[in-house]
Amino acid sequence: GQQLNQSPQSMFIQEGEDVSMNCTSSSIFNTWLWYKQDPGEGPVLLIALYKAGELTSNGRLTAQFGITRKDSFLNISASIPSDVGIYFCAGEPYGGSQGNLIFGKGTKLSVKP
């Protein structure tokens, strides 16, 4: 089946540093989304992307829908301790059922004050 390869698996950074993570696939996707999950909670939607090449920001977060429609990245600028958590990419595959999202395995972010 279709898979999303999310990298890196984990990151340990210093407060104030910028962060970059990405998701790739061998298949085309119609939609890319980025979620954050805190321990003991459900994933929270950060950014949704609908068009190839689209670049969208949400505060210190910026995400892009790759021009090939096979990848997406998420950047976090000037990280702070509350950015700690697991970040997931998700996408709706081209030709798939509407709403049937595929999730990456997540990037665990740790921020050292």
Nearer to other proteins, 11 or 49 (CB): 49
For the CB of residue 16, give the shortest distance to other proteins in the complex, in Å: 30
Token pair in block for residue 78: 């000037």
Secondary structure (3-state) at 81: helix
Query: Do residues 91 and 98 make contact, with C-beta atoms less than 8 angstroms apart?
Result: no
- Which of 64, 66, 88, 93 is the binder for other proteins (CB under 8 A)? 88
- Per CB under 8 A, the list member of 33, 61, 63, 109 interacting with other proteins is 33
- Cβ neighbours around 82 below 10 Å, total: 8
Q: How many CB atoms within 10 Å of residue 106?
A: 19
**CB-nearer residue toward other proteins: 59 or 99:** 99
28 is an interface residue for other proteins by CB under 8 A: no
Q: Which is nearer to other proteins, 14 or 97 (CB)?
A: 97
Identified binder of other proteins from the candidate list 74, 79, 104, 111, rule CB under 8 A: 104
